Structure 1
Amino acid sequence: MGSATEKFRIVIAGGGIAGLATAIALRAPNRQITVLERSRMLGEVGALISLQPNATKIVEKWGIDKFLEQAEPMPDRTFRIYNVEGQMVRKMALEKETFGADRMLYHRQDLHKGLLDAATSPDLPGPPAVVRTSSPVADCDPEAGTVTLQGGETLEADLIVGADGIHSEVRTAVLSEERRAIPTGISAYRLLIPFENLKDLVLPEKMIESKAIEGSTTMIMGHDKRVIMGPGRGGKVFGVVALVPDEKMNEESSTSSWVEAGSRQKLMESYADFPDWLKNIFAAAPDIALWQLRDIDPLPTWTKGRVILVGDAAHAMLPTQGQGASQSVEDAEALRAFFKNVPAAGTGSRPNADEITSALQSVFAARYERASLIQLYSRQQARPATDGKTSNTVTLDPAQFMKYNCDYEGAEDWLARQRAKSSE
Structure 2
Amino acid sequence: MKVVIVGAGIGGLGAAVALNRAGHDVEVYESSAFLNEVGAAIHLAPNATRVLRSWDCDFKELSPVPCEAINVYSADFKLFLAPVTLKEGQELVGTKDPWLLTHRVDLHNALRSLAERGFQGRSVTIHLNSKVESVDAETGEVHLQDGRVVRGDLVIGADGLHSRTVQAVVSNGRDKVSTGQKIFRFLIPMEKVEKNPVAKRLVDKIGLSSTTAIGTPEQRMIIYPCRSGTILNCGVIRAASEADDLAARESSWLNAGSVDDLVAGLSDFDDGVRGFCKLAEDLKLWSLVTRDPPPTFVKGKLALMGDAAHPMLPHQGQGGAQALEDAAALGALFASDTAPEKVGELLEIYNEARYRHTVTICMFSRVALERREEVLDELRRFVPDATIAGNTPYGTWDSYPSREVERLLALRRTEKAA
Q: Name the CA distance, whole Å, in 1 between partners of 2:148 and 2:68.
A: 48
Q: Name the CA distance, whole Å, in 2 between partners of 1:78 and 1:392.
A: 28
Deviations 1:283-312 (A, max 9, x none): 112331111112222311111111100000
Instruction: Give the match for residue 167 of structure 1.
Output: 162
Instruction: Give the match for residue 227 of structure 2.
Output: 233
Instruction: Give the match for residue 35 of structure 2.
Output: 42
Instruction: Give the match for residue 102 of structure 2.
Output: 106
Q: Does 1:364 align with 2:351?
A: yes
CA contact (8 A) 2:71 2:81 kept: yes
Instruction: Give the match for residue 241 of structure 2.
Output: 247
Do the aligned partners of residues 221 and 259 (structure 1) sit closer, same or farther apart at CA in structure 2, a change above 3 Å counting?
same
Structure 1: give runs of 5+ residues left out of the alignment.
1-7, 344-350
Partner amino acid, structure 2, of 1:20? L
Q: Does 1:93 align with 2:85?
A: yes
Deviations 1:223-256 (A, max 9, x none): 7100111000001100101101113988943331
The DSSP-based 3-state class of the residue aligned with 1:70 is helix
Q: Which of these residues, 180, 183, 194, is aligned with residue 188 of structure 1?
A: 183
Q: Name the CA distance, whole Å, in 2 between partners of 1:158 and 1:28.
A: 17
Q: Which of these residues, 74, 79, 101, is aligned with residue 70 of structure 2?
A: 79
Q: Does 1:52 align with 2:41?
A: no
Q: Which of these residues, 112, 115, 136, is aligned with residue 116 of structure 1?
A: 112
Structure 2: give runs of 5+ residues left out of the alignment.
381-385, 412-418
**Shift, 1:389, TM fit:** 9.4
Q: Which of these residues, 347, 361, 364, is aligned with residue 374 of structure 1?
A: 361
More moved, 76-85 vs 28-37? 28-37
Q: CA RMSD in A?
A: 2.7
CA contact (8 A) 1:50 1:106 kept: yes
CA contact (8 A) 1:260 1:291 kept: yes
Partner amino acid, structure 2, of 1:115? L
**Shift, 1:409, TM fit:** 2.1
Deviations 1:121-141 (A, max 9, x none): 14x335111000000000111
Partner amino acid, structure 1, of 2:303? I
The DSSP-based 3-state class of the residue aligned with 1:112 is helix
More moved, 407-416 vs 113-122? 407-416
Partner amino acid, structure 2, of 1:352? P
More moved, 369-378 vs 320-329? 369-378
Q: Name the CA distance, whole Å, in 2 between partners of 1:62 and 1:325.
A: 16
**Shift, 1:410, TM fit:** 2.3
Q: Name the CA distance, whole Å, in 1 between partners of 2:304 and 2:70.
A: 31
Identical residues among aligned pairs (%):
32
Partner amino acid, structure 2, of 1:42? L
**Shift, 1:115, TM fit:** 0.5
Q: Name the CA distance, whole Å, in 1 between partners of 2:395 and 2:207.
A: 27
CA contact (8 A) 1:366 1:411 kept: no
Partner amino acid, structure 2, of 1:163? A
Q: Name the CA distance, whole Å, in 1 between partners of 2:212 and 2:374.
A: 25
Instruction: Give the match for residue 2 of structure 2.
Output: 9
Q: Structure 2 length normalisation: TM-score?
A: 0.88
Instruction: Give the match for residue 305 of structure 2.
Output: 310
**Shift, 1:51, TM fit:** 1.4
Number of aligned positions between the proteins: 398
Deviations 1:143-191 (A, max 9, x none): 1111010000000111100001111111101224443232211111011
**Shift, 1:208, TM fit:** 3.6
CA contact (8 A) 1:54 1:326 kept: yes
More moved, 218-227 vs 190-199? 218-227
CA contact (8 A) 1:146 1:154 kept: yes
Deviations 1:189-241 (A, max 9, x none): 011110011123336979745xx231110001227100111000001100101
